[in-house]
Structure 1
Amino acid sequence: MPTKNRTANFCSWGFWIQLITFMLINPVLAKGQGIRTLREVETAEIKLRRLGQTESKVDLWIDLGTYYLNLPGELKADLARAMQLREQAFALAGKIEYPKGIARSMVLKGSIIRESGDRILGAKIYEQAIAYASKMNLKDQLAAAYSAMGTLFGNEGADLEKKITYNKKSLALYRQAGNKLEEGNSLKNLGDYYNIQGQPAYAIKLMDTSLAVYKAIGFKELQGVYNNMCITNISLGNFSEALKYGLLAEKTADQLADTSLQRSSINNHLGLTYYYLRNDQKALDYWLKAKNIAERYKDPGYMQTIIANVATIYVRMKRFEEGIAELKELIKKYPPTDTQMKLRIPYILFNTYYDIEQYGKAEPYFKTLIKFHHDLPKDDPNQIYLYRSIIRKLIHEKQFLAAEGYLKEHEKQSIQQKNLLALSQLHRLWFDVDSALNKPWSAVAHYKTYKRLTDSIWNNEKSKQISGLEIEYQSEKKDKDIALLHQKNQLQQVRIGNEERVRYFFIGGLVIAALFVGLVYNRYRLKKRSNLILEQKQGEINTQNELLRKILGEKEWLLREIHHRVKNNLQIVISLLNTQSAYLDNEDALVAIRNSQNRMHAMSLIHQKLYQSDNLAEIDMNWYIKELVGYMIECFGTEKKIQFILDTEAIKLDVAQAVPLGLVLNEAISNAIKYAFPSGRKGNVKITFQTIESRTCRLSIADDGIGLPVGFDAGDTESLGMSLMTGLTDQLNGKIEMWNDNGLTLQVSFVQHKELLLETANLGH
């Protein structure tokens, strides 16, 4: 490639990189009050539990909803939580007639819907919020609704105009309301938008005003506005000012321990400033820091811009393959979605391939740029970079006359944008074109203009300012480093002192350990002597224990045999009664014998269970009740007529309590079967046995039959069954109760024997 073209290509990189100024707009608005950390979320949730139905509760719900809305990543769970909080706020605000809360919750709903992807519905909600806030004369909330409406529009063309219009309305309302914080936010945002629109000079005025408003109210979080002033001064070619504000943004963020996504934007703009200052290594370092932060927050917009910047610096450092690799990663992982990035990637690739003289590979990207050139309006700020690419290709192909027309359009737009750097590079190219066309006087004039503009950008005074800023910033960092080293030195001295104390403690510990070992050895000898005596006594105890085990085994065998024989005797009595009933014709006598048989069987079941069980002391009443009910159903043949419902716990009783309780249950079931359901009536009997307190048990037999007669008194009855139940309950030291409740309910309450409870607890441990 000819030397002249080499020079032109080298100059082009400083020129087209200004496209970055339109790519990365800081999304983090300055905030005063609000919830931004997990600790603040926890505090707010505790406060919410204490608040009543008040306006403060509505505001706190909305603040929490805004926090979840603004969490990075736009996760569905976060948006759902934000909407839940918003609905609570809206409902309470309506209930207590709190117009401000209603308006704020409407704006929040629109923002949640917008973030979920439904911009049309979001716009409708914002319009409702605007109408309501206007009707209620809520200036702050109306301003917030206008500002939110502006977020629906992009950063290009007519969309950008609408965004600016809504934010102007918002600014005017905040000023009327005297809301200085939001006035500062609105001024800063408008400065962003005018810079994107290609009016950096006006953007600087807005940001200066914003900074003055912030400082007047003592607002400390100024890193956002400093960051925006940095990028806007880059657009104007004021690199010393850009560096000043970029370093101020970094310093303020450090002081406030800001770890948000905003740090990525600050690092990106500082990298861009150093790019223009031709300090490639610092530019790369800052851009790599910005990339790491953007990756941590998984923000595709930031990643697109920063990867493109990294690719740019690699190309200027002549690390072409690394630059191309970065762009391929960008296309694969973060496909561009807006016009500026769709334009920027082919722009970088076209210029990269021209730098390495691979013109064939550059051709497809040039065709893409030409298409953008025809599709975009002539006054679009991006045209300045497209003109540059076209001029570069025409010079390479020696179409110098054709290049003149693009040079004029390029000049016109550079003057409109007050872009001194672009203008200086343009006149350098014009010098090349005029030289090729044999226009020496015109070429000299363009070269003089190029030198004059370059000198105005890179004069000695500005170089001194830049050096001074860096020295000042580095000095502050060194002072901090010295203070940190001093603290580390103090910590080291403390650590050394601690180590000396530990050493003394260790030596003292060794002495104590030696004394302890001596004592232990002495105790060991005494213990060994004691163990010999204990072993002899233990032998005697073991012999006695063995004898006791044999006696205990014999006792258990005898008890088991007793239970077995009692059960057999009861069965014999039942059989004798059954035989006797065969010789009786008297119905009352037969009924009495049958009742006696049932009572005998109730007692027999207990002794049968004890004989068969390993535990000779207690009965599982859950099993016993099921067995007894089954026997009664079979005995009376009531399975089709009466339905028994059992709800019993696995409570264990000893024989002294199990026998009387079983007899009570037998009498109650017999009475229910005989008298509760006359004339073939069907019904239900529910038997419940449970522990109601720590030691109190309760047996309940409830039927849905005819119940007790009116005026029935259990104390006056001469019924044997009732007398038995009363006497058996007294034997249990319990209480028997009866009442009508859609049938008869009989309830027996008593206290379980303490000895059995203690034994069960010991077995459990």
Structure 2
Amino acid sequence: MNTNQAWSQTQNRIDSLKRLLAHTPPDTNRTRILLQIGQQYYDNYNVVRKSRSSSNIGDVHNLLDSAIGYARQVVNLSSGTKQLSQQAQALYLLAKCFSFGESYDSTRTFDYYQQALKAYQQLGDKPNAAKVLENWADLVRLRVGAKKAMPLFMEELAIQQSYRDTAIYYTLERIGVLHHMMGNYQPALQAYLQSLRLAEQSKNIGYQIDINGRLADIYELLGDYERAITISHKRLRLIRSQRGIESINYLAGQYNILMILYQKYHKPYLARQQALTIIELTRQDPHQKSLPLTTYLAESYVVLGRYELAEPLFKHLLPLYEKPKNLSGLTDIYKHLGELYWLTKRYEQAQYYYQKALAASQQGRFPDKTVSLLRALFKIDSAQGHLRSALLHFQLATAINDSLFNQTKNRQFEELRTQYETEQKDKDIRLQKQQIQVLSQQQQLQNQQLLQDRLVRNSVGLGALMLLLLLGLTFNRYRLKQRSNQQLQHQHELLLAQQEQLQTQQTEIHHKNQHLQRLLDEKERLLKEIHHRVKNNLQVVMSLLNSQASYLSDRAALSAIQQSQHRLQAMALIHQKLYQTEGIARIPMADYIEEVVAYLRESYELPQPIGFDMQVEPIELDVTQAVPLGLIINEAITNALKYAFPKGRSGTISVVFHWLRPTTFELRIADDGIGLPPDYDPAASRSLGMTLIEGFSQQLGGELSIRSQAGLTIVLTFSEHQLTALGSPTDYSYQ
């Protein structure tokens, strides 16, 4: 339905309401109809404004003026508590109408929002009061700034908490965004984490995807790339769980984020893995003309060093950003081109595009991007020997960066100072109250003292008569108390002796515990050192095999040495994990399997694209099970890379490792290659790789099955600590 058709239907509804209005007396029903007509005009204005088309409808602002006119009639006619609901709705409608374009008036808009909020509060309508605050705060954020919008969002949050709004995490996210914009990263992080926790409780997967993206951005800004990568992988799993949004653009965008994070985290081989995945996704796109997808593909080629493929893609994107004058996109594209020419040592072209990126960044007021571009120009000038220009760019970058840093610090200092002054005033008020309370108590004590003096004077005579009797009784009590004190002194001495004996025993126990703890720490250090040395020895053996390979010309011998190196690397990674982690007997299999696959993928360097589908749950295994399992994975993937895709055939290898039951695991390695020959029997095979897979499967006490249908699938099912005679929980070997 186009805009004209929608307006035609709206006009019919408005005409119907106007005919009804002509026969309605001035009561609650009349104000309700007036409000409906105003709302119809406002809703249609929004439709026309968003469609950016107003042909055959007349002046778009007439719609907004009509909505304002009917809303004002409701405000003028509604009086008393019976029509307070219609008055609140009309005030809210007026506030929204005056928020747009030429009709915007900050004084009137904010006043109408304030009146609407007050009316809803009088009605006790907390959800609508929160909604008014939400729209008001958004307008203030856009028109005035984030700092002025923060109190409104905080008031909305307080109202939502009072009636336990289940969607309160949306408000927490907006508060986090404001802190993010103001450079207050720690409060932003706290708001995002609280929002994510509530969103997980409500099982809103779509929102969890968004808030995890914001968390990853915060951690990246704080330099915590490890957490940013972990959250990005979690976001990728959530995206895959939602089939409705699992589009190629969405997935490629998330892999692009991971690629950039791995580059910053100095893990180039993992960054290249993400780049290959993006390239594989673009081949699945039937159109291959999406603007974001083309950008991701070009960036992937740069990471892989395929500059000749990246350059035409970036140049294809330039007019798509130049025509709508998208300054942020233009800055990024110019920067990508400058980086490409810098990497290929074409310094003049690199300087040209970096200068254009700098101009777009300054026009768009992107200070963070301006700093990075000035530093890039500093490197180019230095490489070309233009020292004066290099110094100028370096000084500008430093000045802008210091300015941003000082603005953030000054703002935080001002907030701390305000908080301190407020606390001091509160403290002074409390001190004054305490002083007043002390003076009151002193007055009461003085009055009580006067009463006591009067009683003393009256009782002096009676006291003199009683004194003699008291003296006699006191002497008798003194003798009895002296005997009791002697008995108590004797008992006290006995208790002291017992306490000294107990303290001596406790000291001995403490010394023994310290000695045992030192022995335990020493044992753990020795075990870590053993694992370190075993890993180093395995690396030495790999170096020796590599040296030996340089003297061999027989391809079979070279292949055998290469496979031995791969097996040694799989075992060396186990020991590397053992001495790098806090525990000394548990291996995080997700990281381990990912590193084994990356190593094998880079070792073979096949000319055709081979994709990897990794689905590994966060499982930790005992070292006695991790070693044989790692060798099985090494053998299976090596065989797939060598034999499954002959003659340049492309394909995919999937690795799945997950729980079947609380103590039972399943490893599934499959490829879509040519599979096994029809007459091949894995059970009768004498190849070393198949023998090792079967032997290690028996060592794990697992059930192994091999199927050759549309490729090759190896499935191993085993239980935790279910070891055969080949191994035990305290002893393992590489056989």
Q: What's the TM-score once normalised by structure 2's chain length?
A: 0.39
TM-score (ref. length: structure 1): 0.38
